[in-house]
Every structure is written in structure tokens, then in C-alpha cells.
Amino acid sequence: MRFAAYTQHLIGLGQTIYQWAGQLAEMDRVRREKVALYAEEIAATLARAAAALAALEHAPDDRPALLAATRELGRISGYVETIMSALQRHLDGRKRAGVKRRLEHLQPFELEAALAENGAFRQARRLTAAEGYFRALADALRA
């Protein structure tokens, strides 16, 4: 999978979950807070990945930055799956299936090839856009 497609699927996933914020407001406070914490963790993970990619823009041979970006991006699916398990009783089967389908699109990719193709900064910008949706979700759940 190309990294541009990965980030596009990630942005779409963030947008989708954010659109449910109104429905999720009906959950009990404890469960809403749990989902908000995971949304914040996803956002922080995306911020760390974007920072690692920004470091790679200046030093393309920075192996620790490449490993950091790879590690952070690898966490995303697990966090989203945790959010979905918390929402299982609050979302219909169609919505859960849609998220599952989107998670399947977050397949591993060759980060080095993706950066050579599109540049690290462009990819970092896309991750930052996805980060924004997850931060907005956390804020909406706490409002």
C-alpha cells in the first residue's frame, strides 16, 4: 500500500468516528472518557510519527527517526480496535463493519519507499490532519 493511501484511510477513519460524536454523547461519562483518552492517545501517536517524519525530511538517513515513525504508525490500528470495543454496544453492526473495513486498509507499507516517493514533510502534514480529527473527537466527547 502506498503511504498516501494509508494516510487517506486514516483521515477517513478519523472523520468517520468524529461524525459519531453526537451519538457517543449519549454514552455514560466513564465510557465517553475512556474513548476520549484513546482518541487523545491516537492523536499523540500521530503527532510523534509526524515529528519523526519531519526529522527524516532533514536527515533522510536518520535510522532512529525511521524506526520511531514505523513504531508509532504500528500502534494506530490497536488503539482504534480498542475504541471500537468500547463502542461495541453503542454502534450498529453497519457502523462497526465500516470501521473494520477501514482498519483492514491500514495495512503495513514500506515507509522508506513511501518517503522517497512523496517526501517526509508531505506525509507528516497528512498525519497532522488525521491527528486533528482524533483531537476533535476527544474534545467533543468531553463537551
**Alpha-carbon distances, residue 125 vs 35, 47, 83 (angstroms):** 25, 10, 24
pLDDT at 45: 92
Phi, psi torsion values for 20, nearest 5 degrees: -85, 0
- Sequence-ordered list of residues with C-beta below 8 angstroms from that of 112, at least 6 positions apart, any chain: 66
pLDDT in tens, the chain (143 residues): 577 777 787 888 888 877 877 777 778 888 889 888 988 999 999 999 889 888 888 888 889 988 898 888 888 878 877 877 777 777 777 877 777 777 776 665 666 766 666 667 777 888 888 898 889 888 988 88
pLDDT at 105: 67
* C-alpha–C-alpha distance, residues 66 and 49, integer Å: 9
pLDDT at 110: 67
pLDDT at 80: 79
Domain spans, the chain: 3-142
pLDDT at 118: 65
* C-alpha–C-alpha distance, residues 33 and 35, integer Å: 5
Give the number of other CB atoms < 10 A from CB of residue 88: 9
* C-alpha–C-alpha distance, residues 86 and 33, integer Å: 11
